[in-house]
Chain A
Amino acid sequence: MLGESQIRELLEKAFRISPADETEIVLEAHDSALTRFANNTIHQNVAEVNTEIAVRVVVGKRVGSAITNRLTEEALGRAIEEAVAMARLQPENPEFPGLPDPEPIEPVLAFDEAVAGATPEWRARAVGAVCRMAESMGASAAGALSTGIYELAVANSRGVFAYHAGTEVHFTTVVMCDEGSGYAHRAAWRLTDLDVESLGRSAVDKALRSRNPRPIEPGVYPVVLEPYAVDDILSWLGYAGAGALAVQEGRSWMNDRIGRPIMSPMVTIWDDGRDPAGLPLPFDFEGVPRQRVVIVEKGVPRSPVYDTITAAREGRRSTGHALPRSRPQTASLGPIPIHLFMAPGEATLEEMIRQVDRGLYITRFWYTRLVHPRDCVLTGMTRDGVFWIEKGEIAYPVQNLRFTQGYVPALAQVRAVGKERWVLSEGFGFTCVPALLLEAFTFTGVTEMPGR
C-alpha cells in the first residue's frame, strides 16, 4: 500500500514539472489476490501488485492524456510530456469546461484490516470448505474468492486532492449436479459481511433442487426474480441510459419520460457512492464528491447522473459520476451510475412465491445484451436454477429459457419487492438490490440439444 502522504508527494512533483495550463492526475493502486476453483479443486490462484497513473493535461481548450504504470519520476515526466504533445496537436474543444474546482469531500470508511491481511491459505481453506461440501453431495463446485486493497487518488492543479483507500472481498460460486446448477455471489468491504460457507451451502442446495429440469414452452409468465437477476436489470438501466450523455444524445430509456410515471410506484432507484452498506467510493474520477442521485422515484424517472462536461452543457453542477477520462473509449461512455441501490419492500421470497399461481422462479440472468436502447430491451438466458411455481409453491425445476424483454416495461409490472437486499458486484461498481415479483416477463426460446 502506498498511503496518502507518499501519493500526495508524488502528485505534487508532477504538478511542479507539468508545463500545461491545467493538469489532472488519477492514481489507482491495488494489491489483490484471487483463488479460483473448479471441479472441487483449486486450479488457478493469482496475485497482483500494480499502480496506474493517468495524466490529463489541458492546453487552452485542448486535452491530452497519457497513462503509465511506472512509478519513477522519469516515467511520470515522460507521461506528462506525451500528454502535452497530444493536447497541442488537437483542435480546440469549445465545449471543454475546464477541470473541476475543489469541493469538500467527507471521507467514508471502507477499509477492513481483516480483508487486507487475508492470506492464500485463508482463501484456500474457505473455498476448500465449499468444494468439500459440494463433493459430499455428489456435486461439482466452481468459483472464485478474491481479496484486495485499493487506493484511488485524484488531484488537479486547481487544488483538488481526493484520496480513498478501501478493501474488497468478492465470492462467486456455481455448483453443478447432473443437469442442475446453483449460484451464489456477494461482495463486501468487510470480511464479516461475507459468509463464504453459507453462500456455498445455498448454491449446493440450489444445484440439488434443480436436477433433472423439465422442458417448458416459451411464453409470458409471472416471475419471482432473485436479487441476482434484479442486479442485471439495474446494471443495464444504469449503463444504457441513466447517464446524462445518453439522455443528451437521445438514446436513453429516460428520454421524454422524466417526470412521467413509467414503472410501478414500488420502484425507487438511486445512486449513492457514500453509503457504507455498499462498496463506497466518496468521489469520482475527476475528484468531484459523489452525490446521492435519485434516478427513479416511486416509478417516476427523476434525473440521470452527470460529470463535469455533461453538467456544463446544461448549466448545472456535476453530480460526481465521471468515469476515468484518460482512456478515450471509457470517456466516450459519459457519466454512469456505478453505486446503484433499489429501495426494499416488505416481502420475503417465500411470500412472493405464495402470490404466484403459475409462474417461474429465476435465480439469475446470463449473457444479457441490449437489443434496443429506448425501452432498454435485453435478450439473455436464465441460468443456475429456474423453477416452475404452481399454486404458490415451487413445483419442479425447468430448463433454461431465452428472454427478450424491455427492462423498463418489466419494472412497470412489479407486484412485490423483497425486504432483504444483497450487495452484488460482478463488474464495475455494485448494486444493492432486493428480489422482485413481476406480473409478466417475456420468454422467447428454449435450449434443446440436437442429436448427432
Chain B
Amino acid sequence: MKELLERALNAAQLKGATYADVRLVHRIEQSLLVRNGVVQGISQIEDMGFGVRVIADGAWGFASSARLTLEEAERIAGRAVQIAKASALFKKEDVDIGPPVIQRGTYQTPVQIDPFTVPLEKKLEVLMAADAAMRAVKGIAATEAEMVFLRERKIFASTEGSWIEQEIIESGCGIEALAVGPDEVQRRSYPNSVGRHQMTRGWEFIEECDLPGHAPRIAEEAVALLTADPCPDTVTTVILGGSQVALQIHESCGHPIELDRVFGTEAAYAGTSFLTPEKLGTFRYGSEVVNITADATLPGGLGTFGWDDEGVPAQRVDIVKEGLFVGYMTSRETARQLLKLLGPSPYVTGLSNGTMRASGWNRIPLIRMTNVNLLPGTWRLEDLIADTEEGIFMDTNRSWSIDDKRLNFQFGCEIAWEIKGGKLTRMLKNPIYTGITPEFWRSCDAVCNADHWVIWGTPNCGKGQPSQLAHTGHGAAPARFRNVRVFSRK
C-alpha cells in the first residue's frame, strides 16, 4: 500500500498540485441487532479506499476511489488536480494552510479486550438476555438491543513529509423499550437514546454497561410513563441528567465553536454560528461554573485519536473558561483565516488545534467535535437534588432541535421527575425544555463532580455535503439550570 500512496502523491505533484495528502482507510464494522426477541440481523461491513486531497492553482480538489491499484491512484490524483483547477476558476484568494506540518508516528486505541476477538455467540447472549428482560415486563410492545464494533486502520501521507498510521477501535451498545397506550407511545433507553452509547474502548466497555442488569428498570419506566402526569407548563429549575447535558453541549456549544461554520462554509447545510469572531475572549457564554474543553486526548472518548486527518496531533483546548468564550475548534486553513482576521492573541495562534476528521476514505476532512466536555464541578447529585426546593429532573434525550445559528433550542427528554422540598417525587412524562443558548448556560449554577462524570459518545453527528456522520465524545455530569421554560406536549 505504501507504493499506492506514494504514487498518488507523486502523480498529484506532477499534475500541478502544490500540496497533496492521501488517506488510505480500511474499516470493519460489526453490527448486531435484536428486536422483539428475534435476531434482526448480524452484519459485518468491510470498506476500503483512498482519497487524495490537493491544492492546485491555489484551490482545493478531492477525489477518491475504492479501486486499489497504482493506475487508479494516478487517475484519482489527476482527477483531484483537475477538480482543484476547476475550483480555481472562481477563487477569491489562494488557500493558505500555514507552515508545513510534518508528523510521523503510530497510534492505537488502547483496549483491554479487543471486541473482534469476542465470539459473536457471547455478544448475542448479552443482547438476547437484555431483550428478554425487557419483554418480561408487562405492557412492553417492542424492544430493541444492539451492539456495534468498529476497527478503522488508516494511513495518512502528505507531500510535506508526514506519514501516520492509526488504528481506532470503538465499541457501542444500547437497549430500548417501547410501551404503547391507547393514544400514547413511550420509550426508555439505556445507556443513552438514539440507539446506543459508544466509546473508543474494547469489550470491557460492553461488560461495564451491563445491559441485562438495566433492562427491567427501563422497561418498567416505559410502562409507568404511560400513566404518569405530564410535565407542567412553567418556568422552573431544571437538573439535567449527564447524557442530556452531553447533548446540550453537543448542540449548543460543540457546533457553534466549529470555525468553518463560523466562517460560513456550512451555511447552506448545517448552518452558521452565533459565536462570531469578535466574541472570542470577550463573550460571556455561561456562568462561572461553566468550563468547557475540546480534548482529543481523553482516554476512551469517541473523539479520541492520535492525529487528525490533516496530520495535526490531538490536543486539549480550552473553549469556555469560567464562563468566558476563549476558543474555537480549528483546521489548518481556518486557523490562518482567524489569525488574519483578528491578529495574534492568547486565543489566536494561527495553528490548527487538530479537529479535522473525515467519516471515511471518500470524504474530505471537516472540523468535527473531538471530545467537547463540560468539566466536572463539586456537587454530589444527591446533594444537588437536596439543595433544590422545587424543580424538575430530566433524563435521556428524546428529541432535539436547534436553529441554524445554534441559539434557539428545544429538547425533549424521555423521562422526568418532579423535585419538591429537595426530593425526587412523582414521575412526569413528555418533558420538554426550551431556551436561548447563552441565557441557558448563564443560568447554570451547579455541575456535579467527577464521580458522576461520563464521556458520552455520539456516533451520529451529521455535517457536510456529501453528508458525513462523525463520532464525537462529550464528558458531562448532571447540572442544574435556573429559570428554564418547561412544558409537555403530546
Contact = CB atoms under 8 A, between A and B. Distances in A.
B438 A42 contact: no
Given A143-B268, A173-B268, A328-B32, A93 B39 contact: yes
Contact of A41 (B48, B76, B91): B91
A51 to B, nearest CB: 6
B66 A69 contact: yes
Interface stretch (A6-14, A158-166, A342-350, A373-381): A373-381
A67 B46 contact: yes
Contacts of A38: 263-268
B77 to A, nearest CB: 12
B155 to A, nearest CB: 17
B42 interface: yes
Interface stretch (B236-244, B382-390, B395-403): B395-403
B175 to A, nearest CB: 13
A415 B39 CA distance: 47
A328 B42 contact: yes
A62 B39 CA distance: 9
Interface stretch (B9-17, B139-147, B307-315, B416-424): B139-147
Contacts of B283: 452
A429 to B, nearest CB: 14
Contacts of B33: 328-329, 331-332
Interface residues of B, number: 90
B193 interface: no
Contacts of B42: 64-65, 86-87, 89-90, 328
A106 to B, nearest CB: 31
Contacts of A41: 90-92
Interface stretch (B99-107, B340-348, B404-412, B448-456): B404-412
Interface in B158-215: 178, 180, 183-185, 195
Nearest to A31: B65
Contacts of A449: 274, 407, 436
Contacts of A332: 33, 35, 40-41, 144
B3 interface: no
B72 to A, nearest CB: 8
Contacts of B80: 47
A314 interface: no
A27 interface: no
A331 B40 contact: yes
Interface residues of A, number: 98
Contacts of B65: 48-50
A142 B261 CA distance: 12
Interface stretch (B56-64, B293-301, B372-380): B56-64
Given A49-B65, A249-B180, A371 B489 contact: yes
Contacts of A144: 268-269, 465
Interface in B24-72: 31-33, 35, 38-49, 59-67
Given A43-B60, A44-B62, A123-B86, A328 B185 contact: no
B330 interface: no
B84 interface: yes
Given A69-B48, A329-B31, A131 B267 contact: no
A142 B268 contact: yes
A439 B430 CA distance: 27
A251 B176 CA distance: 14
B185 A69 contact: no
Contacts of A368: 401
B4 interface: no
Interface of B: 31-33, 35, 38-49, 59-67, 76, 79-80, 82-87, 89-92, 120-121, 124, 128, 141-142, 144, 146, 178, 180, 183-185, 195, 263-269, 271, 274, 282-284, 362-364, 398-405, 407-408, 410, 412, 430, 432, 434, 436, 438-439, 442, 465-466, 489-490
8 closest A-B pairs by CB: A328-B41, A328-B33, A120-B86, A142-B267, A142-B268, A447-B408, A250-B180, A124-B86
9 contacts: A36-B268, A38-B267, A49-B76, A66-B43, A328-B146, A368-B401, A371-B430, A372-B490, A447-B407
